[in-house]
Amino acid sequence: SFDWNDGLFDVTWSENNEHVLITSSGDGSLQIWDTAKTKGPLQVYKEHTQEAYSVDWSQTRGEQLVVSGSWDQTAKLWDPAVGKSLCTFKGHEGVIYSTIWSPHIPGCFASASGDQTLRVWDVKAPGVKLVIPAHHAEILSCDWCKYDENLLVTGAVDCSLKGWDLRNVRQPVFVLLGHTYAIRRVKFSPFHATLLASCSYDFTVRFWDFSKPNPLLETVEHHTEFTCGLDLSLHNRGQV
Protein backbone atom coordinates (compact mmCIF):
# COMPACT_ATOMS: atom_id res chain seq x y z
CA SER A 1 0.00 0.00 0.00
CA PHE A 2 1.06 3.58 -0.63
CA ASP A 3 0.44 6.58 1.60
CA TRP A 4 -0.19 10.16 0.55
CA ASN A 5 -0.95 13.05 2.91
CA ASP A 6 -4.20 14.01 1.19
CA GLY A 7 -7.28 12.28 -0.19
CA LEU A 8 -6.82 10.24 -3.38
CA PHE A 9 -9.69 10.61 -5.84
CA ASP A 10 -8.71 8.50 -8.84
CA VAL A 11 -6.16 5.96 -10.09
CA THR A 12 -5.07 4.74 -13.51
CA TRP A 13 -2.72 1.93 -14.52
CA SER A 14 0.15 2.42 -16.96
CA GLU A 15 -0.54 0.92 -20.36
CA ASN A 16 3.12 -0.02 -20.90
CA ASN A 17 4.38 -1.15 -17.48
CA GLU A 18 2.29 -3.48 -15.33
CA HIS A 19 3.91 -2.16 -12.11
CA VAL A 20 3.25 1.55 -12.64
CA LEU A 21 0.15 3.52 -11.68
CA ILE A 22 -0.79 7.17 -11.22
CA THR A 23 -3.05 8.60 -8.54
CA SER A 24 -4.67 12.04 -8.34
CA SER A 25 -5.02 13.88 -5.08
CA GLY A 26 -6.94 16.50 -3.13
CA ASP A 27 -3.87 18.73 -3.01
CA GLY A 28 -3.93 19.06 -6.81
CA SER A 29 -0.99 16.74 -7.39
CA LEU A 30 -0.51 13.54 -9.37
CA GLN A 31 1.72 10.76 -8.02
CA ILE A 32 3.45 8.05 -10.06
CA TRP A 33 3.94 4.81 -8.09
CA ASP A 34 5.82 1.62 -8.91
CA THR A 35 4.59 -1.54 -7.15
CA ALA A 36 8.06 -3.03 -7.61
CA LYS A 37 9.62 -0.08 -5.71
CA THR A 38 7.46 0.61 -2.72
CA LYS A 39 9.51 3.43 -1.13
CA GLY A 40 7.29 6.30 -2.26
CA PRO A 41 6.29 7.99 -5.51
CA LEU A 42 8.66 7.91 -8.48
CA GLN A 43 7.48 11.39 -9.35
CA VAL A 44 4.97 14.00 -8.17
CA TYR A 45 3.38 16.51 -10.54
CA LYS A 46 2.07 19.57 -8.73
CA GLU A 47 0.44 21.98 -11.18
CA HIS A 48 -3.31 21.91 -10.58
CA THR A 49 -4.33 24.58 -8.08
CA GLN A 50 -7.30 22.62 -6.66
CA GLU A 51 -8.31 18.98 -6.24
CA ALA A 52 -7.12 16.69 -9.04
CA TYR A 53 -10.31 14.67 -9.31
CA SER A 54 -9.62 12.40 -12.29
CA VAL A 55 -6.70 10.81 -14.10
CA ASP A 56 -6.61 8.46 -17.10
CA TRP A 57 -3.83 6.78 -19.10
CA SER A 58 -4.40 6.56 -22.86
CA GLN A 59 -5.10 3.06 -24.15
CA THR A 60 -4.48 3.73 -27.84
CA ARG A 61 -1.27 2.24 -29.19
CA GLY A 62 1.68 4.42 -29.92
CA GLU A 63 1.07 7.17 -27.39
CA GLN A 64 2.03 7.37 -23.71
CA LEU A 65 -0.25 10.18 -22.59
CA VAL A 66 -2.04 10.86 -19.33
CA VAL A 67 -4.91 13.33 -18.87
CA SER A 68 -5.98 14.81 -15.53
CA GLY A 69 -9.06 16.84 -14.63
CA SER A 70 -9.32 19.23 -11.71
CA TRP A 71 -11.65 21.36 -9.65
CA ASP A 72 -9.55 24.30 -10.93
CA GLN A 73 -11.67 23.90 -14.13
CA THR A 74 -8.71 22.75 -16.27
CA ALA A 75 -7.59 19.48 -17.78
CA LYS A 76 -3.88 18.84 -18.23
CA LEU A 77 -1.97 16.59 -20.62
CA TRP A 78 1.10 14.70 -19.35
CA ASP A 79 3.82 12.47 -20.72
CA PRO A 80 5.01 10.44 -17.70
CA ALA A 81 8.60 10.73 -18.99
CA VAL A 82 8.43 14.54 -18.85
CA GLY A 83 8.55 16.45 -15.58
CA LYS A 84 5.85 18.98 -16.39
CA SER A 85 2.52 19.10 -18.22
CA LEU A 86 2.59 19.29 -22.02
CA CYS A 87 -0.61 21.33 -22.32
CA THR A 88 -3.50 22.81 -20.31
CA PHE A 89 -7.08 22.72 -21.60
CA LYS A 90 -9.35 25.57 -20.53
CA GLY A 91 -13.01 26.15 -21.29
CA HIS A 92 -15.08 24.49 -18.60
CA GLU A 93 -16.92 26.94 -16.35
CA GLY A 94 -17.22 24.52 -13.43
CA VAL A 95 -15.18 21.84 -11.71
CA ILE A 96 -14.09 18.88 -13.86
CA TYR A 97 -15.16 15.55 -12.40
CA SER A 98 -14.11 13.14 -15.13
CA THR A 99 -11.55 12.98 -17.95
CA ILE A 100 -11.55 9.85 -20.13
CA TRP A 101 -9.50 9.00 -23.22
CA SER A 102 -11.21 7.72 -26.33
CA PRO A 103 -10.30 4.02 -26.74
CA HIS A 104 -10.42 4.51 -30.53
CA ILE A 105 -9.18 7.94 -31.56
CA PRO A 106 -5.57 8.81 -30.63
CA GLY A 107 -5.19 12.12 -28.80
CA CYS A 108 -8.91 12.50 -28.12
CA PHE A 109 -10.47 12.70 -24.66
CA ALA A 110 -13.79 13.66 -23.09
CA SER A 111 -14.44 15.65 -19.92
CA ALA A 112 -17.52 15.95 -17.70
CA SER A 113 -18.10 18.96 -15.50
CA GLY A 114 -20.18 20.72 -12.90
CA ASP A 115 -20.98 23.27 -15.63
CA GLN A 116 -23.51 20.69 -16.98
CA THR A 117 -21.51 20.04 -20.17
CA LEU A 118 -19.71 17.10 -21.73
CA ARG A 119 -16.75 18.26 -23.83
CA VAL A 120 -14.57 16.49 -26.37
CA TRP A 121 -10.97 17.60 -26.94
CA ASP A 122 -8.19 16.88 -29.42
CA VAL A 123 -4.66 17.22 -28.02
CA LYS A 124 -3.36 18.24 -31.45
CA ALA A 125 -5.65 21.26 -31.63
CA PRO A 126 -6.04 24.00 -29.02
CA GLY A 127 -9.53 24.71 -27.77
CA VAL A 128 -12.50 22.46 -27.35
CA LYS A 129 -13.67 20.32 -30.28
CA LEU A 130 -17.26 19.82 -29.12
CA VAL A 131 -19.46 21.11 -26.27
CA ILE A 132 -22.57 19.09 -25.39
CA PRO A 133 -25.03 20.62 -22.87
CA ALA A 134 -25.83 17.10 -21.70
CA HIS A 135 -27.82 17.60 -18.47
CA HIS A 136 -29.52 20.31 -16.45
CA ALA A 137 -27.33 19.25 -13.52
CA GLU A 138 -23.71 18.62 -12.61
CA ILE A 139 -22.20 15.75 -14.63
CA LEU A 140 -20.06 13.54 -12.41
CA SER A 141 -18.99 10.83 -14.86
CA CYS A 142 -18.58 9.95 -18.52
CA ASP A 143 -17.28 7.00 -20.53
CA TRP A 144 -16.67 5.97 -24.13
CA CYS A 145 -18.27 2.95 -25.77
CA LYS A 146 -15.61 0.34 -26.58
CA TYR A 147 -17.38 -0.63 -29.82
CA ASP A 148 -18.46 2.71 -31.28
CA GLU A 149 -16.03 5.63 -31.50
CA ASN A 150 -18.91 8.13 -31.68
CA LEU A 151 -20.82 6.97 -28.59
CA LEU A 152 -20.38 8.33 -25.05
CA VAL A 153 -22.42 8.05 -21.87
CA THR A 154 -22.83 10.65 -19.12
CA GLY A 155 -24.06 10.23 -15.54
CA ALA A 156 -25.29 13.19 -13.53
CA VAL A 157 -26.73 14.59 -10.33
CA ASP A 158 -30.20 14.45 -11.95
CA CYS A 159 -30.05 10.62 -11.49
CA SER A 160 -30.04 9.97 -15.25
CA LEU A 161 -27.63 8.33 -17.68
CA LYS A 162 -27.61 9.68 -21.23
CA GLY A 163 -25.99 8.34 -24.38
CA TRP A 164 -24.52 10.76 -26.94
CA ASP A 165 -23.67 10.22 -30.60
CA LEU A 166 -20.97 12.74 -31.49
CA ARG A 167 -22.30 13.03 -35.06
CA ASN A 168 -25.62 14.43 -33.82
CA VAL A 169 -25.70 15.82 -30.29
CA ARG A 170 -29.06 17.61 -30.42
CA GLN A 171 -30.79 14.71 -28.65
CA PRO A 172 -29.42 11.84 -26.54
CA VAL A 173 -29.59 8.43 -28.23
CA PHE A 174 -30.76 6.90 -24.97
CA VAL A 175 -31.81 8.02 -21.47
CA LEU A 176 -31.66 5.54 -18.58
CA LEU A 177 -33.69 6.27 -15.46
CA GLY A 178 -33.82 4.36 -12.20
CA HIS A 179 -31.22 5.71 -9.81
CA THR A 180 -32.68 7.78 -6.98
CA TYR A 181 -29.60 9.89 -6.18
CA ALA A 182 -26.66 11.32 -8.12
CA ILE A 183 -24.79 8.90 -10.38
CA ARG A 184 -21.13 8.89 -9.40
CA ARG A 185 -19.52 6.61 -12.02
CA VAL A 186 -20.56 4.96 -15.27
CA LYS A 187 -18.62 2.43 -17.35
CA PHE A 188 -19.30 0.71 -20.65
CA SER A 189 -18.72 -3.04 -20.82
CA PRO A 190 -15.48 -4.15 -22.52
CA PHE A 191 -17.33 -7.19 -23.95
CA HIS A 192 -20.84 -6.03 -24.95
CA ALA A 193 -21.52 -3.00 -27.14
CA THR A 194 -24.81 -2.03 -25.45
CA LEU A 195 -24.08 -3.00 -21.84
CA LEU A 196 -23.03 -0.56 -19.12
CA ALA A 197 -22.79 -0.32 -15.35
CA SER A 198 -23.37 2.62 -13.03
CA CYS A 199 -23.08 3.34 -9.33
CA SER A 200 -24.67 6.02 -7.25
CA TYR A 201 -25.09 7.87 -3.99
CA ASP A 202 -28.28 5.77 -3.67
CA PHE A 203 -25.94 2.91 -2.52
CA THR A 204 -26.73 0.78 -5.60
CA VAL A 205 -24.87 -0.57 -8.61
CA ARG A 206 -27.04 -0.98 -11.71
CA PHE A 207 -26.50 -2.87 -14.94
CA TRP A 208 -28.14 -1.69 -18.14
CA ASP A 209 -28.60 -2.76 -21.76
CA PHE A 210 -29.67 0.34 -23.67
CA SER A 211 -30.77 -1.73 -26.70
CA LYS A 212 -33.61 -3.37 -24.74
CA PRO A 213 -37.13 -1.95 -24.23
CA ASN A 214 -36.62 -2.45 -20.47
CA PRO A 215 -32.95 -1.46 -20.20
CA LEU A 216 -32.43 -1.97 -16.45
CA LEU A 217 -31.04 -5.52 -16.16
CA GLU A 218 -30.18 -5.65 -12.47
CA THR A 219 -29.95 -3.53 -9.33
CA VAL A 220 -27.34 -4.63 -6.79
CA GLU A 221 -27.99 -3.39 -3.25
CA HIS A 222 -25.01 -4.83 -1.40
CA HIS A 223 -23.48 -1.54 -0.25
CA THR A 224 -24.54 0.32 2.88
CA GLU A 225 -22.90 3.62 1.91
CA PHE A 226 -22.35 5.85 -1.13
CA THR A 227 -21.04 3.83 -4.07
CA CYS A 228 -18.36 6.06 -5.55
CA GLY A 229 -16.52 3.98 -8.14
CA LEU A 230 -16.62 0.85 -10.23
CA ASP A 231 -14.82 -0.82 -13.11
CA LEU A 232 -15.35 -3.88 -15.26
CA SER A 233 -12.69 -6.57 -15.61
CA LEU A 234 -10.99 -6.84 -19.00
CA HIS A 235 -10.17 -10.49 -18.29
CA ASN A 236 -13.29 -11.96 -16.72
CA ARG A 237 -16.55 -11.13 -18.49
CA GLY A 238 -18.67 -11.38 -15.35
CA GLN A 239 -16.44 -9.54 -12.92
CA VAL A 240 -16.97 -5.98 -11.70
**Residuewise pLDDT in 10s, the chain (240 residues):** 889 999 999 999 998 899 999 999 999 999 999 999 988 899 999 999 999 999 999 988 788 899 999 999 999 999 998 989 999 999 999 999 999 999 999 999 999 999 999 999 999 887 779 999 999 999 999 999 999 999 999 999 999 999 999 999 999 999 999 999 999 999 999 999 999 999 999 999 999 999 999 999 999 999 999 999 999 998 998 899
Asked, for residue 53, whether it belongs to a domain, the answer is: yes
Backbone region of residue 220 per phi and psi (left: phi > 0; alpha: psi in -120 to 50; beta: other values)? beta
pTM of the model: 0.95
Q: In angstroms, rounded to a whole number, what is the distance separating the alpha carbons of residues 220 and 171? A: 29
Asked, for residue 108, whether it belongs to a domain, the answer is: yes
Number of domains in the chain: 1
Asked, for residue 232, whether it belongs to a domain, the answer is: no
User: What residues form DSSP beta bridges with 68?
Assistant: 55, 76
User: What residues form DSSP beta bridges with 13?
Assistant: 21
Asked, for residue 228, whether it belongs to a domain, the answer is: no
The domain that holds 67 is classified in CATH as 2.130.10.10
Domain region containing 78 = 8-220
Asked, for residue 23, whether it belongs to a domain, the answer is: yes
